[in-house]
Structure 1
């Protein structure tokens, strides 16, 4: 069975789409044509989620059959040393680590983690943008998470629950050696993109590229200025079909992404009271995550959620004093 060598396992709204497209440009890396097949989360068990838009965007899109999944990698070229894909829910679905280990125990795993409070709000705004989140109040939406899970809405609506990274990553560390996991932060991609990209290349055992690819902002959250124009750009439409034969796929995707982003206005800021409440809710998991990945995350525990500056001030639990 033709399987990938590495996976981008998440987290959602943390730059995984941008990283996927950047790696896709590397001559020694083959990335699947389908970005999020989510095979290892739903092996031979296509989901039947019942949330708004779940049938169209998840249930029908998941590739759960081993043969179909293997076919995603059949066009790999001889000069491409490694094959990968990016399914951002792998980090969250409990069965995914076990299935990955069963099929490919040598799999290399890349995780990008974002401040869980910011990630939750960005995911909420993303679903509002796509017309799938029915509640206009963020606090009200997160208050419905337990009920929505009982109603079999897809995990993408679990805005808060998807942010407990320490809990999620422990499942991977229990099965895979540390050397097979590469964990970066969202702010690493934003603030030191070249260094982060080269670290990933070293981790995957491919050569650093002659030219650094740009880290494009893809899958951007925001409020559509024109709902009609947004639907035309996001879904199949005769107008888009006319350009399919005229423009190559990479150029067409760049154009659509540009037009989508131009049509989005910035979402409203999260209220400080909500941010403080959620930061406290995540505090224990963040402190555990610091020790798990050996990174200073003290900036995640401040209300302003400012990006870190200067030297780390946190001393890990297993460091010598």
Structure 2
């Protein structure tokens, strides 16, 4: 018999809009969200056993083995490292019968750069050169550092989703694109809520402004990406995985491999939020 746990998980990596999406979902009266006290965007240091990631792991473990909430509520969990953490996915699969997973995908170069810049500002990233920080990842992983400074690894969505789909059906996974969150946040939030089986929120429960997302300016335009010349130096780090992602999802992500990246906000999502293959 499976243990109780979250009905759904917001599993997009840090700097992909997951924190704000979770907060928007939590405003719905039928949804309850839990997350660590530590904001994962602040980034743990490269010290093994970092307390911030211990808090995250503790939250995941606690919710997976916790008691069921009110029958009228759907319990959710913000788990920003779940997509990269296959062991955590296995625990979720073992303990929860049919969770729904919401994953926001952001251009991996922009995501990595934004995470590195935030860690630099927070004083948790000692390397002042972005390329050097990416080059340091293998050694950091061997040393047992946590997920936070693994800027490139957290953006290898192709490998991550390929593994995830060995445990969960694609119909359990709703993939959202970061530009859609910028262009039409209310529409995306309604789509996510419908995917979770709740009705759209009343008009008073809306995003305050179109750009109310991590890494955006007040006018809703995208910020946080590296300069074009720096972007060109690191594209090959992600090239193979982006092609794998396209194969796994049957979607196009070629803009991520261009010099400009995925700069322009995408059109509002129009695909139906539920039913077989909704996650694709």
TM-score normalised per structure 2: 0.79
User: Which residue of 2 is the match for residue 241 of structure 1?
Assistant: none
TM-superposed deviation, 1:86: 0.8
Find the partner of 1:291 among 247, 252, 276: 247
Secondary structure in 1 aligned to 2:57? coil
Query: Could you tell me whether the CA contact under 8 Å between 2:45 and 2:125 is conserved in 1?
Result: no
Find the partner of 1:116 among 84, 104, 108: 108
Q: Quote the Cα distance in structure 1 between the aligned partners of 2:126 and 2:109.
A: 20
User: Which residue of 1 is the match for residue 118 of structure 2?
Assistant: 126
TM-superposed deviation, 1:85: 0.7
User: Which residue of 2 is the match for residue 95 of structure 1?
Assistant: 87
User: Which residue of 1 is the match for residue 200 of structure 2?
Assistant: 208
Change in CA separation of 1:302 and 1:141 when aligned onto 2, cut-off 3 Å: same
1:307 has 2:264 as partner: yes
Worse overlay, 84-93 or 1-10: 1-10
Query: Could you tell me whether the CA contact under 8 Å between 1:37 and 1:87 is conserved in 2?
Result: no
1:26 has 2:28 as partner: yes
TM-superposed deviation, 1:35: 6.5
- What does the per-residue CA deviation read over 1:94-140, in whole Å, with 9 as the maximum and x for residues that have no partner? 21222111111311111111000001101101111211001111112
1:161 has 2:153 as partner: yes
Secondary structure in 2 aligned to 1:149? helix
Q: 1:141-220 residue pairs with structure 2 within 5 A?
A: 141-211=133-203, 212-214=205-207, 217=212
TM-superposed deviation, 1:221: 9.5
Q: Quote the Cα distance in structure 2 between the aligned partners of 1:29 and 1:194.
A: 16
Query: Could you tell me whether the CA contact under 8 Å between 1:35 and 1:85 is conserved in 2?
Result: no
Find the partner of 1:275 among 223, 228, 231: 231
Secondary structure in 2 aligned to 1:156? coil
RMSD: 3.1
Q: Quote the Cα distance in structure 1 between the aligned partners of 2:250 and 2:38.
A: 28
Find the partner of 2:6 among 4, 7, 12: 4
Task: Tell which has more relative contact order, 1 or 2 (C-alpha 8 A, sep 6+).
Answer: 2
Q: Quote the Cα distance in structure 2 between the aligned partners of 1:289 and 1:98.
A: 21
Change in CA separation of 1:86 and 1:50 when aligned onto 2, cut-off 3 Å: closer
Query: Could you tell me whether the CA contact under 8 Å between 1:52 and 1:132 is conserved in 2?
Result: no
Change in CA separation of 1:61 and 1:11 when aligned onto 2, cut-off 3 Å: closer
TM-score normalised per structure 1: 0.70
Change in CA separation of 1:131 and 1:274 when aligned onto 2, cut-off 3 Å: same
Change in CA separation of 1:19 and 1:114 when aligned onto 2, cut-off 3 Å: same
Matched residues, number: 254
